[in-house]
Amino acid sequence: MEQCACVERELDKVLQKFLSYGQHCEQSLEELLHYVGQLRAELASAALQGTPLSATLSLVMSQCCRKIKDTVQKLASDHKDIHSSVSRVGKAIDRNFDSEICGVVSDAVWDSREKQQQILQMAIVEHLYQQGMLSVAEELCQESTLNVDLDFKQPFLELNRILEALHEQDLGPALEWAVSHRQRLLELNSSLEFKLRRLHFIRLLAGGPEKQLEALSYARHFQPFARLHQREIQVMMGSLVYLRLGLEKSPYCHLLDNSHWAEICETFTRDACSLLGLSVESPLSVSFASGCVALPVLMNIKAVIEQRQCAGVWSHKDELPIEIELGMKCWYHSVFACPILRQQTSDSNPPIKLICGHVISRDALNKLINGG
C-alpha cells in the first residue's frame, strides 16, 4: 500500500498542476482577448475618421504584439513543466512496482498465444456487457474480430434493460420478468416478486389518500406471499391508518426510505444472475482483485525458487506452491481433501461416496480395490 500511496501523491501533484494551469491559462487568454479587443476598437475608430495611424497607436500595437508573444511563451513554458511532472509519475511507478510480473506464470499454462489473447478478450467483453457498457463491448468485438453469439449477449442485454428501468424507479419491466420466471424463482427461495410488489404498494401509499382505494385493490397481489411474509404485509396494511395524516410523520415513515430502491436493484441482480447461471460480480473484476492479493506472494516465492535453483518444484499447471488466503469473499465452493491420500479432489479425481456413507477420492478407492 505504501507503493500505491507514493504513486498517488505524484498523481495528485500532476492533477493539481493541471487544474492551476487550466485556470491560469483561461485567465491569461481572457485578459489578452480583452486587451486586443480594445486595441481593435481604437483602430476601427481611427479608420472610420480617416486619420493616419498615430505614433501612440503604433506603440500600443507593438506592445500588444510583445504581450501576445510573452503570454504564449509563458503558457508553453508552464505546459512543459507539466510534462516533467507527468514523467515523474511514470518514474514513480517504475520505482515502486516490479514491471516483470509476467514471469510469475509460465507460458505453459496457456495452450497458445492466440488462445491466451482470445480468453482475455472474452473476459473483457463479458465484463463490459455485465457493467452495461454495451456499445463499448460491441466496438471491442468488431475491432478484435471476436465472434460473440446473440445467445451469450441476450441475458446481459435483458438484465441491463431492467436495471436501467429500476434506476429510473420504473418497476414494470422487473415485475414482468419476475412473473414470467415465478416458478424458477420459487425454487431458489427468492423473494424478488414480493419485494417488487411491496415497493409498488409503497409508491401507491406515497400518493396520499387519493391512492388509498388503488392501494387496497393492489394488496390482493400479496395473497400468494401471505405465509412467508406475513409480518411485512401486516406492517404495510397498518400504514393505511396514517395515510390521511401523512406517512412521513407516522411510525411507518421508514417505508418511504429511498434505500429500498438500492436494495431491489441488488436483489434483482443477485436472483437474476443465479437464475440465468451468471456470476453476480464480473469474473474479470474478481480475478483482478484476487490477482492483486496473490501477486506479491507469488513474486516472493518465485524469487526464493530462483535463488535456491529449484525451478522444477513448481509445475505452474494445476497448483500453487503455497496456500494463498484470499478472504471469505472469494470462497465460491468448498474444497474436499481425501482423508486417506490427503490430497484435494479434482475433476479427474472426484470425491466418491461409499455405501457406508464415508467420502473418499476415486484414486483412494482404486487403491483400496487393488489392495483387496
Q: What is the DSSP letter of 360?
A: E
Q: Which three cell numbers stand for residue 35?
A: 486587451
Number of domains in the chain: 3
Spatial contact of 90 and 44, defined as CB atoms under 8 Å apart: no
Say if 305 falls within a structural domain. no
In angstroms, the CA 93 to CA 7 distance is: 6
Look at residue 101 in the predicted model and tell me its pLDDT: 67
Summarised one tens digit per residue, pLDDT across range 145-161 is 788 777 788 888 888 88
In angstroms, the CA 43 to CA 31 distance is: 19
Query: Do 340 and 260 have their domain in common?
Result: no
Q: Is 258 helix (H, G, I), strand (E, B) or coil?
A: coil
Query: Do 1 and 87 have their domain in common?
Result: yes
Query: Do 92 and 156 have their domain in common?
Result: no
Summarised one tens digit per residue, pLDDT across range 241-252 is 877 877 777 887
In angstroms, the CA 59 to CA 47 distance is: 17
In angstroms, the CA 210 to CA 256 distance is: 17
Query: Do 158 and 266 have their domain in common?
Result: yes
Say if 61 falls within a structural domain. yes
In angstroms, the CA 179 to CA 162 distance is: 14
Digit-by-digit pLDDT tens for the chain (372 residues) are: 677 778 788 888 888 888 888 888 888 888 888 888 888 887 777 777 766 767 777 787 888 888 888 888 888 888 887 888 888 888 887 777 765 666 666 666 666 777 778 888 888 888 888 887 888 888 888 888 788 777 788 888 888 888 889 888 888 889 899 888 888 888 888 888 888 888 888 888 888 788 888 888 888 888 888 888 888 888 888 888 877 877 777 887 888 788 888 888 888 888 888 887 777 788 888 888 888 888 888 878 777 777 776 666 565 556 666 778 887 777 777 778 888 888 888 888 899 999 888 999 999 999 888 876
In angstroms, the CA 307 to CA 184 distance is: 56
Residue 58, judged by CB atoms within 10 A of its CB (0-12, 13-18, 19+), counts as exposed
Say if 285 falls within a structural domain. no
In angstroms, the CA 105 to CA 108 distance is: 8
Say if 246 falls within a structural domain. yes
Say if 198 falls within a structural domain. yes
Please spell the DSSP secondary structure of 179-244, one letter per residue: HHTHHHHHHTT--HHHHHHHHHHHHHHHT-GGGHHHHHHHGGGGGGGTTTSHHHHHHHHHGGGGTT
Query: Do 271 and 155 have their domain in common?
Result: yes
Say if 302 falls within a structural domain. no
Query: Do 162 and 271 have their domain in common?
Result: yes
End-to-end C-alpha distance for the chain, whole angstroms: 57
Look at residue 273 in the predicted model and tell me its pLDDT: 84
Summarised one tens digit per residue, pLDDT across range 288-320 is 888 888 888 887 877 777 777 666 656 555 666
Look at residue 25 in the predicted model and tell me its pLDDT: 87
In angstroms, the CA 211 to CA 239 distance is: 13
Query: Do 166 and 266 have their domain in common?
Result: yes
Look at residue 95 in the predicted model and tell me its pLDDT: 76
Query: Do 90 and 7 have their domain in common?
Result: yes
Residue type at position 252: Y
Q: Which three cell numbers stand for residue 277?
A: 447461471
Say if 119 falls within a structural domain. no
Contacts of 256-261 with CB under 8 Å at 24 or more apart are 256/202, 256/205, 256/206, 260/199, 260/202, 261/166, 261/167, 261/169, 261/199
In angstroms, the CA 267 to CA 197 distance is: 13
Say if 256 falls within a structural domain. yes
The runs of H, that is alpha helices, within the chain are 2-49, 55-96, 113-130, 134-143, 150-167, 172-180, 182-187, 192-206, 212-218, 230-238, 259-276, 283-307, 362-370
Look at residue 74 in the predicted model and tell me its pLDDT: 84
Give residue 345's domain range: 333-371
Query: Do 354 and 251 have their domain in common?
Result: no
Query: Do 58 and 173 have their domain in common?
Result: no
Domain end, chosen from 82, 97, 112, is at: 97
Look at residue 360 in the predicted model and tell me its pLDDT: 92
Query: Do 159 and 47 have their domain in common?
Result: no
Alpha-carbon separation of residue 334 from 44, 180, 286, 346 (angstroms): 85, 33, 17, 12
**Within 13 Å, how many C-alpha atoms sit on residue 53's CB side?**
10
